[in-house]
Amino acid sequence: MDNWELAGKISAQALNYGARLIKINASMKDIIEKVEAKIIELGARPAFPVQVSINEMAAHFTINEDDFKFKENDVVKLDVGAHIEGAIGDNAITIDLGNNKELVKASELALKEAIKIVKPSTKINEIGMVIEKIIKEFGFKSVRNLSGHSIQEYEEHAGMTIPNYDNKDETELEEDQVIAIEPFATDGIGLVEDGKLSNIYKIINLKPVRDNIARELLRFIAQEYKTLPFARRWLLKKFPSFKVNFGLRILERENILHHYPQLSEKSKGLVSQVEHTLLVKDQPKILTKAE
């Protein structure tokens, strides 16, 4: 089994494991740490920090030192990725802890129907059309400024956008591309906005830095994570907090690191998300399958 298939399988196994842990009164911190540990136990590494985004929060929420308990009626998005030598599997699921099953079904069916049309020469706006049509039929809206993406080694978002609506982009899929399709459905207005900073970072401009602490931190980040996203809390396992905080500030200021904002639905609408990673073929191969 090649690295892409194995990374996808491990991503799916870790996602399913985490989904079973999400219950009312369960600890978010405990679940995130267990899922990240499961990825490593299965023979891969996290491709990004495990994200657990609740209700109107659509993406980029992970635990730092704090913790949260899940509550009745929460709509919980679990987004999990694993990589093996840079080959990435990326998948997500929504767990409904209340009475929002139709919202979840909207994303699930949109993904299922979108996968059916994936093949070389499919236009990416055609995928968006299918997703938007299904979500509208359920009475909800696609989140227009969140999207799927192409994937390459050590690059989770590799340049191509896979839209969740007809964005008029007629770029065609190509044989053997790896893509992630991730429909987001909402009962809100269908747009997300930047919120608080997430403490999730990524190297965007690797260059020399003069400060000794920042240089030491950057050397470790480049070696351990390369161009994949990482969490501040991961660094705290290696360095004292004063070094982490000081070094990250300098690396951000020097435009070496991008600091991801949390993304929430602008009108505070509930959001559901599902995601699979696919290999583009005449019969597309879902890489993020547990078996």
Show which residues are catalytic.
79, 90, 149, 157, 182, 275
Bridge partner residues of 234 (DSSP): none
Contact of 204 with 257, CB cutoff 8 Å:
yes
DSSP state, residue 171: P
- Burial class, 216, CB count within 10 angstroms (exposed 0-12 / middle 13-18 / buried 19+): middle
Task: Give φ, ψ of 270 to 5 degrees.
Answer: -70, 145
C-alpha span between 289 and 276 (Å, rounded) = 8
- Alpha carbons 192 and 182: distance in angstroms, whole number: 15
DSSP conformational letter for 225: T
